[in-house]
Amino acid sequence: MTVKYTEDHEYVRQNGSDGTVGISSYAQEQLGDIVFVELPAVGNSYKKGDEIAVVESVKAASEIYAPVDCTVTEINEVLNGDPGLINTDPMGEGWLVKVTIDDESALAGLMDEAAYQSHIA
């Protein structure tokens, strides 16, 4: 499993053609307490850069973009009752959606952990 990041602070955790998408720890810190998430419908397909979800803090609503071309296979329903999971465990329990990645090679265009750390530094 590898984790890749976008410049807009989404991450995708890859396992073959399956991916788990969420926002980085840095992003949740910047947003502050998350109070609401708007998740897509299972089965929806997205192109890289399409708006796939919205997370809201008290003061801001942020669109989450698809990191690669993908189709949603599962959404994290737990977030509807406990959006704070994105703050407490963004890379784990606070994931947003699981997807099937159209083309695994597209991940090569994203940042790895080291590159992302220097991106936000």
Partner 1 sequence: MSMNRQGRPSSPDSAVSNTSPGNAALLPDEPLLFEIGDTDHSGVDLPDVEISGSRLGGHARKTPLDLPGLTEPEAMRHYVRLSRLNYSIDSGMYPLGSCTMKHNPRLNEKMARLPGFADIHPLQPQSTVQGAIELMQQLADWLMTLTNTSGVALSPKAGAHGELCGMMAIKAAHEAHGESHRKIVLVPESAHGTNPATAAFLGYQVRSIPAAEDGTVRVAEVEAALGPDVAAIMLTNPNTCGLFEPEVKAIADAVHAAGAYFYCDGANFNAIMGVVRPGDLGIDAMHINLHKTFSTPHGGGGPGSGPVVLSEALAPFAPVPFIRRDGDALKLVEHADGEALGRLTAFHGQMGMYVRALTYMLSHGADGLAQAARDAVLNANYIKAQLSGTFSMPFNSQPCMHEVLCDDAFLKGTGVSTLDFAKAMIDEGLHPMTMYFPLVVHGAMLIEPTESESRQTLDRFVQTMLGLAARAKAGEAEAFTAAPLTAPRRRLDETQAARQPKLKWEPETTPLQAAE
Partner 2 sequence: MRYLPHSDADRQDMLAVIGAGSIDDLFAPVPADLMLRQHLDLPAHQPEFAVEAHMRKLAGKNRAGADGPFFVGAGAYRHHVPATVDHLIQRSEWLTAYTPYQPEISQGTLQMLFEFQTQVANLTGMEVANASMYDGSTATAEAVLMARRLTRREKIIISGGLHPQYRDVVDTYVGLGENLVHLSASPEGQGDIADHIDDKTAAIVVQTPDFYGHLRDVKTLAEAAHAHGALLIVVVTEIISLGLIEAPGALGADIVVAEGQSIGNALNFGGPYVGLLATRQQFIRQMPGRVCGETVDAEGQRGFVLTLSTREQHIRREKATSNICTNSGLCALAFSIHMSLLGDAGLRRLARLNHQRASALADALEKVPGVTLLNKTFFNEMTIRIGMPAADVIDQLAARNILAGVPVSRLRPDDPSLTGLIVLAATELTTDDDIASLVAALTEVLS
CB atoms within 10 A of CB 118: 9
Residue 59 vs 121, nearer CB to partner 2: 59
Q: Using the rule CB under 8 A, is 50 a contact of partner 1?
A: no
**Comparing C-alpha atoms, which of 53, 49, 23, 56 is closest to residue 41?**
53
Q: Using the rule CB under 8 A, is 84 a contact of partner 1?
A: yes
**Comparing C-alpha atoms, which of 118, 119, 110 is closest to residue 4?**
110
Q: Considering only residues 18, 25, 30, 38, which one is a binding residue for partner 2 as defined by CB under 8 A?
A: 38
Q: Considering only residues 56, 69, 89, 93, which one is a binding residue for partner 1 as defined by CB under 8 A?
A: 56
For the bound state, the minimum distance from the C-beta of residue 61 to partner 2, rounded and expressed in Å, comes to 4
Q: Considering only residues 58, 61, 78, 115, which one is a binding residue for partner 1 as defined by CB under 8 A?
A: 58
61 binds, among partner 2, partner 1, none (CB under 5 to 8 A by kind): partner 2
Residue 71 vs 87, nearer CB to partner 1: 87
User: Which residues between 57 and 96 bind partner 2 (CB under 8 A)?
Assistant: 57-61
Sequence-ordered strand ranges (E) for the chain: 2-5, 10-15, 18-23, 34-38, 45-46, 51-57, 61-65, 70-75, 97-101
Structure tokens at 22: 């969420």
Which residue type, as a one-letter code, is found at position 68? Answer: V
